């Protein structure tokens, strides 16, 4: 009786999992079907879910659009630069707090945690004022610094947990062999912390890639807008190219999906860092 019950339970879990997966994938399926519709079918009443005349060329037309390529380039520059800045700043901060107890350590970690509670939306007016005074409106620097600042806390916390899980004896053995502190960090600790580094870097990249509110506020030049802001120009009060909007959205999702597929095994290890001593 136990085996059939267990099999029935596993079948039920599989069914529930499949239904949840379909529920999450349904909006993306609607986006894909709309992206394949010609302009005339977008105004048919009542609307159809699937197109009568499939036009996959809509995806290619958006991909070859000069404006779309500009937005894509801006998003890549901002996301990669923000990710690099987050990793460079988070590694020494996380390593020092993981290996040293100093006065104000708890307050520092609490301050890092508190920064995660602030939404970019609530700070957007202050950010605009600050960057206006610094003459950084419509610059990549403003977006890169803002995205890096909002993602730094997460990177420090996850890397600190990973560094703390590495036995001190490994570093002490390397020090006995003549390795200095920086060399121990670069040659010993970082290779062992690869899952944590990948997790922090990828989450910083995706957060910068998907950011919208700050980019909408700081970047008014059409040539400086990232993908999240630029694609909204396909649907305005004067033009409504819904198929182009959905096609651009589908293309924008692809890099993130590919990235997750390539580094999924590192993400699992990074997210469970510090859970087992």
**Per-residue confidence (pLDDT) for residue 274, from 0 to 100:** 47
pLDDT at 188: 79
* Adjacent-strand bridge partners of 235: 240
In a domain, 246, yes or no: yes
Number of structural domains, the chain? 1
- Give CA 110 to chain center in angstroms: 24
Strand partners, 240: 235
Looking at the chain, the whole-number percentage of residues with pLDDT higher than 90 is 19
User: Mind listing the pLDDT tens digit for each residue in 54-72?
Assistant: 888 889 999 999 899 999 9
Whole-angstrom Cα distance, residue 80 to residue 149?
A: 14
Q: Provide the residue range defining the domain that includes 229.
A: 66-271
pLDDT tens digits along 244-274? 899 999 999 888 888 877 777 666 554 455 4
What pLDDT score was predicted for residue 163? Answer: 84
**49 in any annotated domain:** no
pLDDT at 140: 92
pLDDT tens, residue by residue, 99-132? 777 777 777 777 777 777 777 777 888 888 989 8
Does 208 fall in a domain? yes
Residue 97 located in a structural domain: yes
Counting DSSP H helices and E strands in the chain, the numbers are 13, 0
Is the per-residue pLDDT at 276 higher than 50? no
In a domain, 20, yes or no: no
Per-residue pLDDT band for 237 (boundaries 50, 70, 90) equals confident
| Interval 39-44 mean pLDDT | 81
**DSSP notation for 154-179:** HHHHHHHHHHHHS-HHHHHHHHHTT-
Q: How confident is the model at residue 277 (pLDDT cuts 50, 70, 90)?
A: very low
- In whole angstroms, give the CA distance from residue 186 to residue 197: 12
Sign of CA dihedral 228, 231, 235, 241: negative
> Worst-scoring range by mean pLDDT, 16-25, 76-85, 169-178, 185-194?
169-178
Is residue 180 in some structural domain?
Answer: yes
∠ Cα 249 255 260 (to 5°) = 120
Query: Which CATH number do you get for residue 158?
Result: 1.10.3720.10
Q: Does residue 37 lie in a domain region?
A: no
Instruction: State the pLDDT at residue 190.
Output: 82
Report, as an integer, the average pLDDT of 82-93.
Answer: 92
Nearest to 204 by CA among 78, 70, 41, 79: 79
Q: How many Cα neighbours within 13 Å face the side chain of 233?
A: 15
For the cut 50, the answer to whether the pLDDT of residue 73 exceeds it is yes
At residue 38, the pLDDT reads: 87
pTM of the entire predicted model: 0.83
* Residue 3 pLDDT class (50, 70, 90 cuts): low
**What's residue 220's pLDDT?**
85
Position 206 in a domain: yes
Determine what percent of the chain is predicted with pLDDT higher than 70.
Answer: 94
Joined tokens for residue 219? 């970047």
Cα angle 226, 231, 237; round to 5: 130
Position 178 scores a pLDDT of: 73
Q: Which string of b and e fits 236-273 if b means at least 16 CB within 10 Å? A: eeeeebbbbbbbbbbbbeebeeeeeeebeebbeebeeb
């Amino acid at each position: 009786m136990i085996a059939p019950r267990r099999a029935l339970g596993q079948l039920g879990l599989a069914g529930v999992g499949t239904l949840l997966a379909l529920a999450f994938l349904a909006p993306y399926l609607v986006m894909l079907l709309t992206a394949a519709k010609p302009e005339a079918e977008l105004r048919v009443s009542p609307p159809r879910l699937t197109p009568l005349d499939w036009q996959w060329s809509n995806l290619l037309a958006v991909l070859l659009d000069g404006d779309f390529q500009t937005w894509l380039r801006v998003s890549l520059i901002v996301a990669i630069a923000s990710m690099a800045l987050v990793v460079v700043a988070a590694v020494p901060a996380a390593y020092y707090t993981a290996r040293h107890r100093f006065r104000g350590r708890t307050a520092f970690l609490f301050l890092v945690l508190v920064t995660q509670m602030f939404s970019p939306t609530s700070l957007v007016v202050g950010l605009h004022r600050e960057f206006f005074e610094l003459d950084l409106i419509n610059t990549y620097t403003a977006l890169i610094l803002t995205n890096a600042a909002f993602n730094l806390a997460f990177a420090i916390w996850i890397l600190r947990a990973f560094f703390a899980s590495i036995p001190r004896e490994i570093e002490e053995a390397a020090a006995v062999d003549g390795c200095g502190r920086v060399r121990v960090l670069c040659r010993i600790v970082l290779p062992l912390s690869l899952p944590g580094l990948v997790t922090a870097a990828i989450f910083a990249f995706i957060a910068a890639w998907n950011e919208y509110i700050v980019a909408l506020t700081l970047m008014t030049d059409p040539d400086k807008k990232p993908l999240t802001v630029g694609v909204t120009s396909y649907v305005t009060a004067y033009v409504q190219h819904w198929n182009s909007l959905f096609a651009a959205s589908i293309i924008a999702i692809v890099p993130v999906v590919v990235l997750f597929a390539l580094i999924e095994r590192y993400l699992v290890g990074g997210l469970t860092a510090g859970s087992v001593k």
